Amino acid sequence: MLELDRVISGYGSSRALHEVSLTVPRGSLVTVLGANGAGKSTLLRVASGLLPIWGGDIKMDGRWMTRKSTREIVRAGVVHCPEGRQIFSQLTVYENLQMGGYLRDDRKAAKRSMDQVFSYFPRLKERVKQRAGTLSGGEQQMLAIGRSLMASPRLLMLDEPSLGIAPKLVQEILGILGFIQEEGTAVLLVEQNARLALQHADYAYVLDLGRVVMEGAGSTLAKDSRIEERYFGAR
Ligand code: ATP
């Protein structure tokens, strides 16, 4: 569904991605692993149109996405849930969710999406009128994912959802990604917590200094001693 073909990008004059190729098949969960600074967030920024692409191509369902605007990319079904959550802390849970559906004209469909978000995250429903800034870290992460789901993505790109969250809530959130997948939404998950990500991933890529250095089925990489040495126990 999403295809990155030898993508190059970076900041100023310094390259952060060197010919990265990656595929996310329809309905799958693909993870991108790597240490700090490996280029994981950069990859998601390029795929969502936030950062210009210097070389290579991006396609969604066979259609060129290279150099499309973020708005067009969202309309094509690709939604990015950024690192650090970036929710609007002064707004309520409800208002934050509404913001996620801003590109939709169909109110009934937006209502259905919100009901679905509440079915995944009942905690959000209980706190619907609460200001987002007063939620716990894990709840804020749920809200950030919920807000992304309001755009009815066919591909949800998640940047480090486990960051700064209690382990129990991390498991809960990753478990819910399984339900989201069952509803037909593919997930591209960026994680530093390799062990956790590989438990859930169909396929995984390992980035190092902006290059793909390893890839394979999640279950295969989970048993790979090189992954264990380098990336397990990072947390
Ligand atoms: P982290 O988990 O720390 O976010 P990452 O794998 O997501 O790591 P990136 O944030 O994509 O890595 O960073 C890749 C490279 O790009 C690093 O060398 C980083 O210093 C550089 N970089 C990232 N963001 C910027 C920016 N806004 N301006 C300049 N350089 C940046």
Residue 73: which CATH number? 3.40.50.300
Q: What CA–CA distance (Å, rounded) separates 187 from 209? A: 23
Q: What is the pLDDT of residue 230?
A: 77
Same structural domain, 141 and 194 = no
Residue 114 lies in a domain: yes
pLDDT tens digits for the chain (235 residues)? 999 999 999 999 999 999 999 999 999 999 999 988 999 999 999 999 999 999 999 999 999 988 899 999 999 999 999 887 789 999 999 999 998 877 677 778 888 999 999 999 999 999 999 999 999 999 999 999 999 999 999 999 999 998 888 888 888 888 899 889 988 999 999 988 888 899 889 999 999 999 999 999 999 998 888 887 777 654 4
Same structural domain, 91 and 191 = no
Q: What is the pLDDT of residue 196?
A: 85
Residue 210 belongs to what domain range?
A: 1-77+155-233
- SS3 of 123, please? helix
Report the separation in Å between the CA atom of 108 and the middle of ligand 1, taken as the mean of its atom positions: 39
Same structural domain, 159 and 144 = no
Q: What is the pLDDT of residue 233?
A: 58
User: Residue 66's CB: how many other CB atoms inside 10 A?
Assistant: 15
Give me the residues paired with residue 204 across strands.
31, 216
Report the separation in Å between the CA atom of 82 and the middle of ligand 1, taken as the mean of its atom positions: 13
Specify the ligand 1 atom closest to the Cα of 192: 2
Domain boundary among 152, 187, 204: 152
Same structural domain, 122 and 144 = yes
Q: Are 131 and 165 in contact (CB under 8 A)?
A: no
Predicted ipTM? Answer: 0.95
Q: What is the pLDDT of residue 234?
A: 47
Same structural domain, 142 and 168 = no
Same structural domain, 40 and 69 = yes
Same structural domain, 116 and 222 = no
Same structural domain, 138 and 193 = no
Residue 52 lies in a domain: yes
Q: What is the DSSP letter of 133?
A: G
Strands 29-33 and 55-60: unpaired
Same structural domain, 51 and 105 = no
Domain boundary among 152, 169, 204: 152
Q: Which residues does a 6 A CB cutoff place in the pocket of ligand 1?
A: 11, 16, 34, 36-42, 192
Number of domains making up the chain? 2
The beta-strand segments (E) located in the chain are 2-11, 14-24, 29-33, 55-60, 63-64, 78-81, 155-159, 186-191, 203-208, 211-217
pTM of the model: 0.93
Residues 6+ apart with CB under 8 A from 8: 15, 17, 18, 19, 20, 53, 54, 55, 56
Q: What is the pLDDT of residue 110?
A: 85
Residue 225 lies in a domain: yes
